[in-house]
Structure 1
Amino acid sequence: MSTALIYFYYVLPLLILPQEANPVSDWKVLNEGFIRIQYHAYDTDIADLVYLVIKKNFDRTAEMVGYGGPAIANIVISGSKDEYNLFTGNRMPTWSQGSTDYENSRIVLKSPSFTGIRESELRRTVIHEFTHFLIGAVAPPSSVPRWFNEGVAMYLGGAETFRSKINISAAIYTKSLISLNEIQYLMTFSGDRANLAYAESRAAIEYLIEITDEKSIRFILAELYLNKSFESAFTEVTGMEPIDFEIEFRTVIRQRYRFYFLAAVGDYIWFLIPGLFILAYLAVKIRNMQTIRRWKIEEEQDEFE
């Protein structure tokens, strides 16, 4: 994207939008270059952390998606559930921790002051939403499939969790894997189904990078900037049509993730062991009682004869 377009679509809104966006008057503002963070006074430490996370991860994120402009961000840290819903237009599911609003060129975060999430989760959320924000700066957001957008954000947000692998493994055995196209409806999913969608999206991007390299991500986004369809951009960069990639990807994850569900079983085995011992004890006791009863019957028959 040209410098002029970056300024028009992303820098200019930072200068004129915030005053119109505030639903209340007690906002504080952190301004550093083109990074602007709105927050309440009690979230000062949170705002400082958000700023540091963006600064630390900007170069890596920008390189990944092919963004060549200045470090930009327009962030609102909402102080309550109602405030979050107000900024997001009541469009976000309850399980969401953040939202990237392309229309208003801003990121809306839930403050840990009312969600209680850990710092590590907040860091991942900030990187995740900032990735969405920069993707929107290099390609028309509507042209980027949800699985691709979420997958890149998850990939940059940190290492894959063991729980994500278990989720995919369980879905393999219950035949409940989500097709990549279906992930487009992520915002309508339940929390558990959303976790699976995020895990699959990340795994898909990891596999795409494995068979190509990280540059393929920004090359695909660059093609989308030229108003090419995702199918055309993906095929031109990877040499595969998206449907063929998904077929190959599903084959691979079935091989790689199929045994992780056993770890989930292991989480419960320690609770089952005492019950198994009790059942074994009762089984032996019942069998002994049956044996004694049979002996008595045989003894009575011998006496009768």
Structure 2
Amino acid sequence: MLSERSASAFLRTAAIACLIIISVHTVGAETLNYRNYQFIHQNKDSLLVRHLLGKIEPSLIKIEDFFGYAPVSLVTIYLTRSEADYRKLTRNGIPEWSQAVAFGKEKIIVLKLISADDVLKGPEVLLHELVHIYFAERFPPGRVPNWLNEGLAQYLSGKRLTLQDKVFLAQSMSAKKLIGLDGLDTLLTFSRPRARLAYIEALSAVEYFIQDFGVNIRSLSSTKGTSTGFDRLSLRSLSSACPDSSGSKGSGSGFDKLSQRSLSSACPDLSGSKGTVNPGYQRLKELVKTLRTERSLNKAFLMVTGSDYIDFEVGWYAWLDEKFHWLLILNIDNLLWIGMGVLALLAIVFVRWRNRRKIKQWEAEDESYIDTERE
């Protein structure tokens, strides 16, 4: 899963030329149009493409809402069913671990679906690449850092950090192999294990941003006029999410008197569906929106969060250490050592128990023998 910024101009031009030739001359090629999205595929894959489209439709709406627009020009999606076709379309310039590539400037995506696992991950991968298309269409080249581009592509496609991801992060931290956010700009050159770490780091940074600047607010309608929901709010999160409503001189007294209606009026970003919102997610939307016109990432962070980018990165490192470092015990090598230690302890306990039982048996036999001698 790669963004267009990572590919060279030559690669894009060659790929587009190849795509045009194949789409025109390939026997049995069909197209399926959905709004401004066009799928090009073999006729035998019609059901697969319709299934794919059905899976991504709900998430497409969420992605369009995040960016605040729907694409106007045509986005073309080429479906390939073999490694050879995928390599031809991408001109062999894509790492072997990739399943799809987005050419943002040309609004073209090449998606590979070969194995059952590819098909299963297909909707998420396609949504991931569509996020890259959105970024490329709405932002100048190089404006959005790669960690944010890749992290959001994963987050908006529905991916979240799994336990395996967290353990892998813990192992990388312990081995001092973290890449760092700025190091993700050369993702295209990474090996498979390093690329995996890069994607995990990017997603973790986005999840950290949302958590650090976010807090779920339950609808006050369920509290019957009480301010219980606000009593649990982080002042920092609320001040960041809605600076004009934070009360005087940083105090939280203003929130005690707010009803759900007045809160929505004072701070529209906090009004969400089903009575819950996440200010961190709203702040992330605002950060992305700000980057359209603000060239400096540091200034964009200051404008949106009140903290600079360095503070964010330092906080992210600390968050990783606090949240995931303890997961080192789940490392297979550590589990083996722990298991061996437990087995050794159990063996010692068993031997002692058996010895005591044997001693008691001997003592009973001695007493029986003495009684027999007396008789």
TM over 0.5: yes
CA contact (8 A) 1:151 1:203 kept: yes
1:145 is the counterpart of 2:145: yes
The number of aligned residues is: 263
Cα distance in 2, alignment partners of residues 21 and 131 from structure 1: 25
- Conserved in 2, the CA contact under 8 Å of 1:102 and 1:141? no
Q: Tell me, in whole angstroms, the C-alpha distance in 1 between the residues paired with 2:163 and 2:45.
A: 31
Output aligned runs, 1:150-165, within 5 Å: 150-158=150-158, 159-165=160-166
Task: Write the deviation string for residues 161-215 of structure 1: whole angstroms up to 9, x where unpaired.
Answer: 2111111110111111111000111111111111111111111001111223112
Q: Please give the secondary structure, in 1, of the residue aligned with 2:40.
A: strand
Distance 1:235 1:53, change over 3 A: farther
Report the Cα offset of residue 78 of structure 1: 1.7
Structure 2: which 5+ residue stretches go unaligned? 1-17, 214-279, 352-375
Matched position secondary structure for 1:176: coil
Q: Among the aligned pairs, what percent are the same residue?
A: 27
The answer as to 2:63 corresponding to 1:61 is: yes
1:201 pairs with 2:202: yes
Q: Supply the distance in 1 between the matched residues of 2:191 and 2:117 (Cα, whole angstroms).
A: 19
1:254 lines up with 2:321 in the alignment: yes
Equivalent residue, structure 2, for 1:13: none
> Normalising to structure 1: TM-score of the pair?
0.76
Aligned equivalents of 2:19, 2:190: Cα separation in 1: 31
Match of 1:223 among 290, 293, 299: 290
Residue 222 of structure 2: aligned partner: none
Query: What is the alpha-carbon distance in structure 1 between the residues aligned to residue 317 and residue 89 of structure 2?
Result: 37
Instruction: Name the SS of the counterpart of 2:105 in structure 1.
Output: coil
What is the match of residue 269 of structure 1?
336
Q: 1:155 to 1:71 in 2, by over 3 A?
A: farther
Instruction: Return closer, same or farther for 1:175/1:18 CA change in 2, 3 Å cut-off.
Output: closer
**Given the alignment of the two structures, is residue 46 of structure 1 paired with residue 48 of structure 2, yes or no?**
yes
Match of 2:92 in 1: 90
Q: Is the 8 A contact 1:155 1:205 kept in 2?
A: yes
Q: Does the 8 Å contact 2:99/2:111 carry over to 1? A: yes
* Stretch deviating more after TM superposition (29-38 or 66-75): 66-75
Distance in structure 2 (CA, Å) of the matches to 1:39 and 1:253: 42
CA-to-partner distance for each residue in 1:78-135, whole Å, 9 max, x for gaps?
A: 2322322232232211001111111321111112xx3442543222212211222222
Are the equivalent residues in 2 in contact too, given 1:171–1:177 (CA < 8 A)? yes
Q: Is the 8 A contact 1:53 1:126 kept in 2?
A: no
Contact 2:131 2:153 in 1 (8 A): yes
For the residues of structure 2 that align with 1:88 and 1:268, how far apart are their CA atoms? 42
Residues 194-238 of structure 1: CA deviation (Å, up to 9, x unaligned): 111111111100111122311223322222322523333233222
C-alpha separation in 1, matches of 2:24 and 2:89: 8
- Deviation sequence 1:6-26 (CA, Å, 0-9, x none): xxxxxxxxxxx9755637412
Distance 1:211 1:147 in 2: 17
8 A contact 1:64–1:214 mirrored in 2: no
What is the CA-CA distance between 1:71 and the residue it aligns to? 9.7
Asked if the contact 1:67–1:138 (Cα under 8 Å) also holds between the matched residues in 2, the reply is: no
What do residues 142-175 of structure 1 show as CA deviations (whole Å, max 9, x unaligned)? 2111100110111123332211111111011111
Measured in 1, the distance between the counterparts of 2:336 and 2:35 equals 54
My pick for the range that moved more, 197-206 or 41-50, is: 41-50
* Runs of 4+ more than 4 Å apart: 17-21, 68-72
Q: SS at 1:207's partner residue? A: helix
The structure with the larger Rg is 2
